[in-house]
A and B are shown apart, each in its own frame.
Chain A
């Protein structure tokens, strides 16, 4: 595997970029692994990388039913931020943000993390109060977040319509300057390449059909499209399909899977300097480095595994974008798609051990888990390696739905990305 550097780039440029070696080998499964990770999204691949790098566990397979990064990792709108209300969430997402800072160097792969700032618009008194509460809570947790007046918001994002007679008047905004975006595919590819380099097998086009448990109840391995593979530790990181995979191990999950859609416009010159979210009108927008406007909204109303979603939602989202940014009302949209997101009742993730020995789960990231990728992967690897919670993921248990100790970001934010 070549190390990417100015030298290797130059060398390959001279030979017309025809001699780049493969980034990671396409593996067939061995009979047995120490750890199997179900799902090659950013979270699963990242966990494999940290297992190898930080815990010296390299006999690891990441098993993916499609192609790596083809799930929500490759479908999301890449908003990265950490200004969540509760202490538990702030710690987890800020841990991820710390890891994002150096990820490109660490992986020797440019994930294009861009701290362009994420601004959340307040359109009514309730928004103002709730965002200011977030800002105060964030400050106590040493998490970057500050209040902008409408004028300051407009200065930060010139296309914004702050006219007082707008359909959705802007009464202010919360700005996390340290937040931003990253290139989603590069995150999956970077982790895959770095994990493979350390000996992890990445097995694609191989669905995990069920998890096999022994007479003592503990995990024995997984039945897959390519036969049975033995492992005493299995970590499920299958996003929208988590309920299905966990059911096969006899663990019923507090999850519902919904379509979440996004769309992009034709590419245009740089016009939009940051990310803007509006929870109240259910729309958010940024501009990719390719020039496309990247637009998203809330989930469709019904549960589904169809990876599509319906047009009424797109219509609603685009209408809101045109109201808040009239400059875009003649833009043409290029394509739209959907992913399946796994939503928990409190809109916080489930990350840790399960009642089954040797079975771990990382799920429930719903509409907002891309930003958590390095943090979730890093603490999941710890939990799998040591068979105990990491201090940061410890509150995100499955048991909280029995004990009632919810981390209720649902009530705090109404929607979350």
Chain B
């Protein structure tokens, strides 16, 4: 996502010049590092009022055909092809709408969008509009999972604090997660929303059997984590990463710490964890760490909940560590 302050192409994406030989069936092939790049000073032309209204006035514009009255949001044309190209007029629509259909969620994004994943992208028909605007969708309740952004879900347009006149200036969250004042306010900014109070799932009371399942799983997790620590590939997967994670399950809770010393378990309650992981059954996490199915899948399938959406990256790193250990065993 562009912020209006960085380089058009971040330096870290740019490879060095160079080439290498790849050998296939005994023959050598020359393979060169390369790029196609074109820089633009690109006009938003007739779409400029729409993007300027988002950026400068926190208003959402559409256009209305003077003949048929259809209101298109965004205002992507100046004349209505349905009415023999009758002219359209810009008008403002409301900032609450409903999802036209269930929105897909992208969990594994390319380098361009990794920082905003997992993200929903869906079509919202705002009050006063006849067509849908494609927007990013998020939740304040924790990790974004299927079931939150459904057909008919009412959503509110939220404005980024730093706006540059792009579609990334706005996104939507369900109105059910906001106060009535927030829903009614035009130009509501992301900073006005509480992102720090996700709805943590209740862990059910543990029976004696649950507790023993928990103790057994924890024991295995400890041993896997120690193995990860001894594995160079796995250590590389979390290089430079620091997280204090509170893990809660039926039967108990502990801290999963990732820092420059590696990854480790401490049987204590964290007062200010970076994020919280909750699963009714600790074996869900155990299976993932043991490379029996991806932890990311458990998150998507709601068997394991995390309190902060962007921490999906950390989950992905844990999967990578599990894979690294498994690969080392194979070698």
Q: Do A and B come from one complex?
A: no
Q: Which residues of A contact B (CB under 8 A)?
A: none
